[in-house]
């Protein structure tokens, strides 16, 4: 009895329905990190597929299990750092359908990324993975990938309000600690005013 047949290839327009489903599943699995991923429309994915077909520094790969698309990975060749001549292959949003896990699709996609890095002469491979995905992080750790730079995300409007001193949290509510401090200050001010009023009243009665 033969094992599952895994193949990796470049994505095609015909894969768009499967890619939409995989992206939605990846967002659900990402939990809080899904906010940074955004939703993926068919038009957006089509644009990405077309770009990858003409840009030699970009690859959009799919993994097939017995001719069924079960995984995806976005690859790009770019400088390791802004002032560094050396390049790396960045692997973003590698995802395998939950129903096809532990059958080799993820490893096949990483192997394809390594092959791409060799083709473009990139000495490093960097993978973007949310820290909350423990299974994915263990998978990459087994392949000798070590933690690197952590990325933090925030909506532009929230950051602008933070910079202006409004102290708005990403959830949109005012910073609770600041509110507590403000309430305590107001309470102390009221108490002080009350005591002062009583002192004046008492002295007036004498």
Contact 75, 13 (CB under 8 A): no
Segment (H or E) for 53: helix 42-54
Alpha carbon separation from 103 to 24, 74, 113, 119, 135 (Å, rounded): 21, 20, 18, 26, 15
Helix (H) / strand (E) element for 42: namely helix 42-54
Place of tokens 């009895």: 1
Q: pLDDT by residue for the chain (206 residues), tens digit each? A: 566 799 999 999 999 999 999 988 888 877 766 666 767 788 888 999 999 999 999 999 999 999 999 999 999 999 998 888 899 999 988 999 999 999 999 999 999 999 999 999 999 999 988 888 889 999 999 999 998 887 888 889 999 999 998 655 555 555 555 665 666 677 666 555 555 545 444 455 55
Number of Cβ within 10 Å of residue 129's Cβ equals 18
**Which neighbouring-strand residues pair with 63?**
8, 71
16-30 and 42-54 helices, crossing angle to 10°: 110
pLDDT of residue 155: 85
Contact 112, 61 (CB under 8 A): yes
Report pLDDT for 67.
Answer: 92
Q: Which two tokens stand for residue 26?
A: 């990846």
pLDDT of residue 182: 64
Number of alpha helices (DSSP H) and beta strands (DSSP E) in the chain = 6, 5
Residues in the chain: 206
CA torsion sign for 55, 124, 36, 41 is positive
Tokens coding 20: 């939409």
CA–CA separation, 180 vs 178, rounded Å? 5
> What does the CA dihedral 16, 20, 25, 31 come to, rounded to 10 degrees?
130
Whole-number pLDDT of residue 177: 57
Q: Which two tokens stand for residue 17?
A: 């329905």
pLDDT at 178: 62
């Amino acid at each position: 009895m033969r094992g599952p047949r895994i193949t990796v290839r470049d994505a095609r327009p015909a894969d768009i329905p499967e890619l939409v489903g995989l992206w939605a599943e990846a967002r659900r699995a990402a939990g809080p990190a899904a906010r940074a991923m955004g939703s993926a429309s068919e038009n957006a994915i089509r644009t990405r597929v077309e770009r990858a077909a003409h840009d030699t520094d970009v690859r959009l790969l799919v993994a097939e299990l017995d001719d069924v698309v079960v995984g995806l990975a976005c690859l790009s060749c770019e400088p390791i750092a802004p002032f560094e001549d050396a390049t790396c292959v960045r692997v973003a949003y590698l995802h395998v359908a939950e129903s096809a896990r532990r059958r080799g699709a993820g490893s096949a996609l990483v192997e394809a990324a390594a092959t791409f890095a060799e083709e473009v002469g990139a000495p490093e491979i960097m993978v973007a993975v949310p820290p909350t995905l423990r299974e994915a992080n263990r998978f990459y750790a087994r392949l000798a990938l070590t933690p690197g730079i952590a990325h933090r995300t925030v909506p532009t409007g929230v950051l602008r309000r933070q910079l202006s001193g409004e102290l708005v949290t990403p959830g949109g509510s005012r910073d609770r600690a600041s509110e507590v401090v403000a309430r305590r200050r107001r309470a102390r001010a009221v108490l002080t005013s009350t005591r002062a009023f009583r002192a004046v009243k008492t002295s007036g009665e004498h």
